[in-house]
Amino acid sequence: MRTILALTILLGSFLLVRSDKIHGDYIEIRHTGMSEKPVKTLLLSREKLTIDIDKNDPLIRLLYKKNINRKQMDSSVGLRYDLLITNERTLTTIKKIVRNNQAYFVDSNHKNHGSFEDYAVVVNRKTYNIYYKQKKQFFSDLKAELIQSGCDQKVIAKLMY
């Protein structure tokens, strides 16, 4: 019974809206749809980011019954995030693709309906929800542009959506 409760809390914490605080300049690619298993958020930055995990999150409360310290918080980041430090060219290329290709994203004519296929890209703290019918094309075009521009291979390898 305790195992079932722990798994329910673990899975629920991945599905809930998170109020973690991320400090620094970054690009975020996150799964926003339904999921049968946890899907980590990809964070791309030129430098190491500081992330303050929400201490009231059910998973954090389960793992650390007492007050959570900075070391524990830093070790918890890997439960939710894939952090990649990359170069300026890669970040600039992703920003350019998002800025110049609005057809990939939801608008008044194209809305997502909470499917398994929903993803979002956060650039300059602005969220661009990828229209579910454009997800495959978006990631394919993004990957092709990153390869053509000679961008970071670690980032390209992570874009297997």
| Per-residue model confidence as pLDDT tens for the chain (161 residues) | 555 444 444 444 444 445 677 877 899 999 888 877 778 889 999 998 887 777 676 666 666 666 777 677 676 777 788 899 999 999 999 999 999 999 999 887 788 777 777 899 999 999 999 998 999 999 999 999 999 999 999 999 998 76
- State the pLDDT at residue 161: 60
d(CA 122, CA 99): 11
Torsion angle of C-alpha atoms 102, 104, 110, 116, degrees rounded to 10: -140
Residues 6+ apart with CB under 8 A from 140: none
Token code pair at residue 157: 């390898």
- State the pLDDT at residue 94: 97
**Nearest CA to 115 among 11, 33, 15?**
33
b/e string for 120-130 if b means 16 or more Cβ within 10 A?
bbbbeeeebbb
